[in-house]
């Protein structure tokens, strides 16, 4: 491969990794081509880009970005799933879900966020997180629960008083 072609590929990898909110590095060795095609389609549907990278070029790209912590993990036949959306867990969820559901012999090498490397167990943990919307719902529910408790505590004596007054009025009307 000519030097100019390598420089273009390094720039493409650098651009992709610098824009990514999260990524998952996988070993695809031994994965049959039809399974690789299915995985690509699944990732594309989820809005995740899947790149098979040449290790030396990927190392140069991440070192050029100042992400040296990633370079040692580009060994063997590896590919990178890159997520550009706010949903940081999407690449991990999609890749881990595909591996579990299809039973392929694909291995997760690790993953990365813009500032740090994640090992395979951390990628699994990231994949098991609820969606962003679900997490926001949990936070809102947790914040509103004490407020509802306070409102119920404050209104229950008033309701007791109202019921007592209604009972007294009905009793007076009956007499």
The per-residue pLDDT for range 5-51, each reduced to its tens digit, is 888 888 898 888 888 888 999 988 878 888 888 888 988 988 899 98
One domain for residues 39 and 60 = yes
Residues 21 and 87 in one domain: yes
Q: Both 93 and 143 in a single domain?
A: no
Structure tokens at 144: 């509103």
Provide the pLDDT confidence category of residue 132 given band limits of 50, 70 and 90.
Answer: confident
Rounded average pLDDT over 73-93: 84
Crossing angle of the two packed helices 33-45 and 90-102, in degrees rounded to 10: 140
pLDDT at 164 over 80: no
Percent of the chain with pLDDT over 90: 5
Q: What is the pLDDT of residue 141?
A: 75
Cα(first)–Cα(last) distance of the chain, in Å?
104
User: Residue 115 pLDDT > 80, yes or no?
Assistant: yes
What is the residue range of 22's domain? 3-129
The mean pLDDT of 90-119, rounded to a whole number, is 87
Residues 106 and 147 occupy one common structural domain: no
pTM assigned to the model? 0.71
Average pLDDT estimate for 138-167:
72
**SS3 call for 105:** coil
- Same domain, residue pair 106 and 152: no
Looking at the fold, whether 58 and 136 belong to one and the same domain comes out as no
Decide which of 94, 113, 129 is a domain's last residue.
Answer: 129
Claim to verify: residue 84 and residue 153 sit in the same structural domain? no
- Can you tell me the mean pLDDT for 138-147? 74
Q: What's the CATH number where 31 sits?
A: 3.30.70.1730
Report how many domains make up the chain.
2
3-state secondary structure of 27: strand
Residue 85 structure tokens: 């959306």
Q: Which residue, among 57, 27, 22, 54, has the nearest Cα to 39 in the 3D structure?
A: 27
């Amino acid at each position: 491969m000519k030097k100019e072609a390598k420089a273009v590929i390094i720039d493409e990898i650098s651009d992709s990794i610098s824009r990514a909110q999260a990524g998952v590095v996988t070993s695809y060795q031994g994965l049959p081509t039809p399974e690789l095609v299915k995985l690509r389609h699944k990732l594309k549907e989820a809005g995740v880009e899947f790149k098979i990278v040449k290790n030396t070029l990927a190392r140069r790209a991440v070192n050029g970005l100042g992400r040296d912590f990633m370079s040692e993990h580009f060994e063997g036949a590896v590919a990178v799933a890159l997520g550009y959306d706010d949903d940081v867990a999407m690449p991990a969820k999609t890749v881990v879900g595909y591996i579990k559901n299809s039973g392929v012999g694909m291995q997760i090498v690790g993953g990365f966020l813009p500032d740090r490397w994640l090992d395979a167990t951390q990628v699994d943990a990231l994949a098991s997180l609820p969606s962003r919307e679900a997490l926001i719902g949990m936070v809102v529910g947790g914040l509103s629960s004490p407020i509802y408790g306070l409102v119920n505590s404050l209104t229950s004596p008033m309701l007791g008083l109202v019921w007592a007054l209604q009972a007294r009025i009905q009793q007076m009307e009956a007499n």
